[in-house]
Amino acid sequence: MTQKTALVVGARGVIGGNLIDYLGSLGEWNIVGLSRRGGQDRGRVRHIAVDLLDSEATVDSLRGLSDVTHVFYAAYQDRPTWAELVPPNLAMLTNVVDAIEPVAPELEHIGLMQGYKVYGAHLGPFATPAKESDPPHMPPEFNVDQQQFLERRQAGASWTWSALRPSVVAGVGLGNPMNLAMVIAVYASMSKELRIPLRFPGRPGAYTSLIEMTDADLLAKAMVWAATTESGRNEAYNITNGDMFRWSSMWPRIAAFFDLDVAPPLEMSLTEVMADKEPLWNAMIECHGLVATPYSDVSSWAFGDFVFAWDYDVISDSSKSRRAGFHEYVGTEAMFLRIFQDLRDQRLIP
C-alpha cells in the first residue's frame, strides 16, 4: 500500500472535516489539516493553525511538510460583496501553493473546491442544467480566478489540478458559514420549542423551483477520486447527490422528522427573525442537555436566506463525472434525515 500525505486546507469546515474523516477511514493517508483555529491531533491526523492571508506565516507553518503528495483546498473567507471576495480567497490559495510547492518534491495533485458561482448561480437565473463547458460570466468571481491561477501555475509542473463544483453542501459541522443542514435543523428545533408549525421562510418561487444538494460524505469521495485517478487530472467536475427536488415536497418530510406540522410558506429574513433567539437556544441547551454550543457557532442564518431566495432552478449536469468513472449516489431526503439524526445523536439538537 502506497502511503500518501494529504494537506487539507480549510480543515474545520464541513467539507474539510468530512474529508479528513473519510481519508482517515481509508488507512493509507497521513493527514495534515490547516485552519485558522487549528484542531486536536489524533492518529494519522495533525492540525496546524495558520492565517493563510499571512504569506510569511504560511511559509513558516508549511516549511516542514516535505512529504505532502496531495493538497485538498476548501478554505474560504467571506466578504460583504462579490468583488471583495476575490483578493483574500485568491491570496490564500496562492500563499498555500507558494509555500508547499518548493518543499514537497512528491506533490502529485492540487484539488480545488468551487461551486455554482462559476455559472453565475449567485447572480440570478442561469442556464440549467449547468455544464462544465458553459461560457464564463462577467467577473468578479474568485472561483474562476483560483482555477486560472492553478492552470497557469501547473504549466510545466509535475503535479496536476482538479476543480470540483458541488451544489449546496450538507453535512454535520458547526461553525461553518455554509451548512444548510444546520440552518434547517436549528430552525426546525426552535420552531418545535416554540410550538409553532414549520414554515418555509424563503421566496415563494424558491418553494417550487428545482434544486439539488451535495452530501459532504459523497463530496469527500469525489475529492479523493479526482485527486487519485487519471480522469481527474486538469479537469473540472460538477458533483451532486444525483437527484433533484423542490422544497414544496421536501419541506413536509423534514417537518415530519421533527414531528412538526407544516404551515404555508411565509417569506422572512432568518437573519432578522433569529437575531434575538440566543436566550432561547441557551434555554434549549439547559432543558435538553445539549452540547453547550455558542449560538454564534450554531448556524449561518444569512446563508439560509441566500439559498432560500433562489426562486429559479439551481441544477447542474453531473454526467461528465459519471462518464469519467465516479458513480456514487445519495438520495437527498435520506441524506437530510441521516444528518438530522446524527445531530441528535451527538446532542447538538434536541
Please give the average per-residue pLDDT across 270-275, as a whole number. Answer: 98
Reading the block at residue 22, the C-alpha cell is: 473519510
Res 174 pLDDT > 70 = no
Q: How many CA atoms lie within 13 A of 308 on its CB side?
A: 27
Band of pLDDT at residue 173, cut at 50, 70 and 90 = confident
Residue found by looking up cell 434547517 in the block: 184
Q: What is the pLDDT of residue 172?
A: 84
What superfamily does domain 4-168+215-239 belong to in CATH? NAD(P)-binding Rossmann-like Domain (3.40.50.720)
Give the end-to-end CA distance of the chain in Å, rounded to a whole number. Answer: 43
Model confidence over 275-286: pLDDT tens digits? 999 999 999 999
Q: Cα–Cα distance between 25 and 6 in angstroms, integer?
A: 13
Q: Cα–Cα distance between 20 and 30 in angstroms, integer?
A: 10
For the chain, give every domain's residue range: 4-168+215-239, 174-212+244-315+330-343
* Burial classification of residue 82, based on how many CB atoms lie within 10 Å of its CB (0-12 exposed, 13-18 middle, 19 or more buried): middle
Res 344 pLDDT > 90 = yes
The per-residue b/e assignment along 18-43, b for 16 or more CB within 10 angstroms, e otherwise, is bbbbbbbeeeebbbbbbbeeebeeee
Please give the average per-residue pLDDT across 32-48, as a whole number. Answer: 95
Q: Which residues pair with 239 in a beta bridge?
A: 166
Model confidence over 101-121: pLDDT tens digits? 999 999 999 999 999 999 999
Q: What is the pLDDT of residue 109?
A: 98
Res 180 pLDDT > 60 = yes
Strand order, beta sheet including 235-239? 45-49, 29-35, 4-9, 70-73, 109-113, 160-166, 235-239
